[in-house]
Structure 1
Amino acid sequence: MTTSHDDLLPGTRRALLHRIAVAQSEGRTPSLVATVVRGGKAVWTGARTSVPGHGPDENVQYRIGSITKTFTAVLVLRLRDEGLLDLGDPLEKHVPDTGAGEVTIAQLLAHTGGLAAETPAPWWERTSGSLRPELGDVLGEQPFRHPVGRRHHYSNPGYTLLGALVEEVRGAPWEDVLRREILEPLGLHRTSPRPQAPHAGGWAVHPWADAMMPEPAEDLGRMAPAGQLWSTTGDLARFAVFLATGDDRVLSAESVREMRTPAAPPEPGEPAAGASYGFGLQIVHRDGLSLVGHSGSLPGFLAGLVISVDEDVAAVVLSNCTSGPAVFTVAGDLVRIVAEAEPRIPDPWRPMAEVDGSVMELAGPWYWGTQAFGLRLPAGGGLVLGPLSGAGRGARFRANDDGTWTGLDGYYAGEVLRPVRRPDGSLSHLDLGSFVFTRQPYDQEAPVPGGVDSEGWRGIP
């Protein structure tokens, strides 16, 4: 069974349907539902099921496991943006006496705190959260597996600590804060900590026989911020739009961009080449695409949310089996299918609405030593620096109130670009984190570090 919209070409829709059909059949999952987003709205929904004549749609809930972590990360970034904490704060400053208080909030968000991947036994995903009522029960007597800050090591208890942080600072239960600050503003009415009909049941499929067994659906208690939520492809499609563009009612575009920025390398030995982790988001480079999102799994369920910001395409895939289709990969494939079959059409070029002469003066060629760079002023604001040929460091910059500019990405992220003027007010050079950029290679009239040979350029006699 499949339903789809008319925003995609027939060939694209068939390719999407074929991909999820293969995933459901070869992955041997009772059901699988997927939604594709383009241009800020759902443009295709498809489903495959083992039940004849019946299939899930974008309103059927599935458990989404660790995609819950992305929601928790948004709540933490909101606290930072309100000035209630700093990401460099040790957890101890806000949640004392955990036994893991030396870890910073940023390290917890990026899984670089050195904490164990799981709680002490028994397996937390398949037992009641009532067995772990306190943070000490989640962390155990030896919470660390690695030195703090030295490596990326995925930690479910780490996100439980972030949930406790949200509760401590807000003075309210995690799920109440989640509903008030994310679910209601974004209209995610089919996302909830506990299942709400219609919802799928979770199943284990026998590895050597086409037979099934129901999986228990446990309330995770303290571990809820790491994996409790149930949602639909419809709601997660809207959440994907938010993660790509931001929403000032929840989190600014700048802050969601920060979430999508690599903050940790991949865990050594993990199979995903070119992968890293931001704040509550996985980052993968595959098939020429830069993808962000998160996977999720709990007994009986698999979930994947993948976004290509550059292509303005996202996909959500949900299924109800413990192991089977690689839904994160499938979601990435759906994004690739749309991006390749129907490439994003650029917005029409438009000039600036207003031209600032003092900023316009910065545009054009600049030289760092002998390497040529171009500084452009896009209509959307800011500055863009990049090499004119070959490899070189580039970055986007945003304006500061004092006439300087701050780098947003690349090598110059966080670095300050300062236009330097002569006593008569004319532009002399640019100072970028101590690098001097001049209008001519090694301009003798600019304060180039180390000085410029007075005899200037020469050949070989």
Structure 2
Amino acid sequence: MTDVLPATARTLYARTARAQRDGRVPGLVAGVVRDGGLAWSAARGDVAEPHRDVQYRLGSITKTVTAITVLRLRDEGVLDLGDPLEHHVPGTPLGDRTLGQLLSHMAGATSESPGTWWERAPGTSLDGLGLSPADAVLPAARRFHYSNLGFGLLGELVARVRGRAWSDVARDEVLLPLGMTRTTPRPVPPAAQGWAVHPWADVRQPEPEHDAVVMAPAGQLWASAADLARLGAFLIGDTGEVLAPATLEEMVLPSGVDSGDTVGWSSYGLGVQVRRVEGATLVGHGGSMPGFLAGLWVDRDEATGALALANTTSGLDGGLPAALIADVKAAEPTVVGAWAPAPSPVPLELLGPWYWGPSPYALRAIPGGLLHLGGLGRPGRASRFRPGPDGTWIGMDGYFAGETLRLDPVALNLATFVFTRTPYDPAAPVPGGTCEWR
């Protein structure tokens, strides 16, 4: 991997030092992810050395690992994201909610498990939770509602399908293949002590640590900075043998949000958060558990990520990783590959201007053997397309995601839309017919 330049390192270190002081964080480790691992890291406060090897509690970053285990089962054909939970984990009040809804927090499950505050008390089994209809707080697919319980149920699903504890499946199928040998369900020294810092005085007290059992898949993993950087490299695109690249692309697609909006938004994919920050789309996850805060975010376009691990219940600015990414981007912007000629995936005469009614569009060949259809000279519905069966093309994103594009020299047919070479071309099969322009 390529280390950052000395001047960049000083800027990153100054930002990290200020975050540790202003947040009154007992110990803070921050890092930049590039080229498959940590390109820079630093520690401030009460942190053991070597700081890259010290474990911190990840909190909800655990959900990303849980999602990967579920998606591996889907890719194997063992289950489908449209399956109701009841098919795999019978007897819960959320049995009619699908696995995809649980992964994207669209299942309407309660945010927390019933009973004692699960983050600060020893856990129990699924039966021990005593779930009831009250734990389905919203209708399915009605709105985003973050649910720790939902990911506890997904971990239970993995355990039942594989016939082994969720933590063992995660270790053998995700963590070890990614080289995350210092990521465990319970702390293994060297590991940071979790602290709560008093809001009105510079004193602290230790926070408890325990096995959350059925809720562990929602937030129990511990990891070092070096290990968390490997997960960041995975999110950038270094998936190895763990998931197919196409499945990662599915993970990071926002649910229920128009990703073409450049004003700023926050959404959730499948086990990952997706945010627009100052024009950049960041993918990753934040995490919190009593005594710990964590964050891992990557800018996939820049192939750069950043992380923060802190042993405090509150106080750290959650925007630190995003700010570190912005620092690197400003000081050392990614140099993109050179343009090179490539054959068009379709005859050249099919490319160029087309019209949906009177609205101008352009069909272009883009790198990777893909097509792009979008507004010409003004905003319009836009999508990329990949080759499909029988000479068709399948929408990959945007308005036409999943739709079939059929190419013809006279007309493009797409989801009942007919695009013509001239506005309402009388030679094309335009629904409703055409008249003379006057």
User: 1:452 aligned to 417, 434, 438, which one?
Assistant: 434
1:7 aligns with 2:3: yes
Letter in 2 for 1:441: P
| C-alpha displacement of 1:382 | 1.2
Letter in 2 for 1:457: W
Of residues 336-345 and 209-218 in structure 1, the stretch that sits farther from structure 2 once superposed is 336-345
* 1:39-58 correspondence runs (5 A): 39-50=35-46, 57-58=51-52
Aligned residues: 434
**Residue 367 of structure 2 corresponds to which residue in structure 1?**
379
1:138/1:35 CA distance change after superposition, 3 Å: farther
1:450/1:178 CA distance change after superposition, 3 Å: same
SS at match of 1:106: helix
Assess if the C-alpha contact under 8 Å between 1:151 and 1:265 holds in 2.
Answer: no
Task: Describe the superposition over 1:130-189 as per-residue Cα deviations: whole angstroms up to 9, x where unpaired.
Answer: xx2224516356212222221211111110110111112222211111112111211111
1:231 aligns with 2:223: yes
**Residue 18 of structure 2 corresponds to which residue in structure 1?**
22
Assess if the C-alpha contact under 8 Å between 2:364 and 2:371 holds in 1.
Answer: yes
SS at match of 1:125: helix
**Residue 282 of structure 2 corresponds to which residue in structure 1?**
291
Assess if the C-alpha contact under 8 Å between 2:354 and 2:420 holds in 1.
Answer: yes
SS at match of 2:294: strand
Letter in 2 for 1:448: V
Of residues 317-326 and 370-379 in structure 1, the stretch that sits farther from structure 2 once superposed is 370-379
Gaps of 5+ in 1: 267-271, 421-426
SS at match of 2:253: coil
Taking the aligned partners of 2:238 and 2:143, their CA distance within structure 1 comes to 29
Letter in 1 for 2:271: G
1:369 aligns with 2:357: yes
Letter in 2 for 1:277: Y
**Residue 351 of structure 1 corresponds to which residue in structure 2?**
341
Taking the aligned partners of 1:122 and 1:215, their CA distance within structure 2 comes to 16
Task: Describe the superposition over 1:224-259 as per-residue Cα deviations: whole angstroms up to 9, x where unpaired.
Answer: 110110011211111111122152511111111111
Assess if the C-alpha contact under 8 Å between 2:24 and 2:315 holds in 1.
Answer: yes
1:183 aligns with 2:163: no
User: 1:106 aligned to 67, 75, 100, which one?
Assistant: 100
Taking the aligned partners of 1:165 and 1:104, their CA distance within structure 2 comes to 12
| C-alpha displacement of 1:122 | 1.4
Task: Describe the superposition over 1:259-306 as per-residue Cα deviations: whole angstroms up to 9, x where unpaired.
Answer: 11112469xxxxx96211111111111122111111111111100011
Of residues 153-162 and 385-394 in structure 1, the stretch that sits farther from structure 2 once superposed is 385-394
**Residue 321 of structure 1 corresponds to which residue in structure 2?**
312
Assess if the C-alpha contact under 8 Å between 1:294 and 1:305 holds in 2.
Answer: yes
Taking the aligned partners of 1:243 and 1:228, their CA distance within structure 2 comes to 20
**Residue 424 of structure 2 corresponds to which residue in structure 1?**
442
Aligned residues with identical type, % of pairs? 51
1:402 aligns with 2:382: no
SS at match of 2:355: strand
**Residue 212 of structure 2 corresponds to which residue in structure 1?**
220
SS at match of 2:274: strand
* 1:175-214 correspondence runs (5 A): 175-214=167-206
1:21/1:56 CA distance change after superposition, 3 Å: farther
Letter in 1 for 2:141: G
1:334 aligns with 2:324: yes
Letter in 1 for 2:331: A
Assess if the C-alpha contact under 8 Å between 2:194 and 2:207 holds in 1.
Answer: yes
Letter in 1 for 2:110: A
Task: Describe the superposition over 1:20-73 as per-residue Cα deviations: whole angstroms up to 9, x where unpaired.
Answer: 11110011111110110134442211111146xx55522211010110001111
Taking the aligned partners of 2:389 and 2:364, their CA distance within structure 1 comes to 20
Task: Describe the superposition over 1:344-377 as per-residue Cα deviations: whole angstroms up to 9, x where unpaired.
Answer: 222111122x555x44443222221222222221
**Residue 81 of structure 2 corresponds to which residue in structure 1?**
87
1:66 aligns with 2:46: no
SS at match of 1:284: strand
Of residues 72-81 and 60-69 in structure 1, the stretch that sits farther from structure 2 once superposed is 72-81
**Residue 159 of structure 1 corresponds to which residue in structure 2?**
151
Assess if the C-alpha contact under 8 Å between 2:109 and 2:136 holds in 1.
Answer: yes
**Residue 165 of structure 2 corresponds to which residue in structure 1?**
173
**Residue 424 of structure 1 corresponds to which residue in structure 2?**
none
SS at match of 1:116: coil
1:198/1:133 CA distance change after superposition, 3 Å: same
Letter in 2 for 1:310: D
SS at match of 1:402: helix
User: 1:241 aligned to 217, 233, 236, which one?
Assistant: 233
Taking the aligned partners of 2:130 and 2:105, their CA distance within structure 1 comes to 16
Taking the aligned partners of 2:388 and 2:34, their CA distance within structure 1 comes to 33
Taking the aligned partners of 1:382 and 1:139, their CA distance within structure 2 comes to 48
Taking the aligned partners of 1:138 and 1:296, their CA distance within structure 2 comes to 26
Assess if the C-alpha contact under 8 Å between 1:135 and 1:161 holds in 2.
Answer: no
1:126/1:273 CA distance change after superposition, 3 Å: farther
**Residue 423 of structure 1 corresponds to which residue in structure 2?**
none
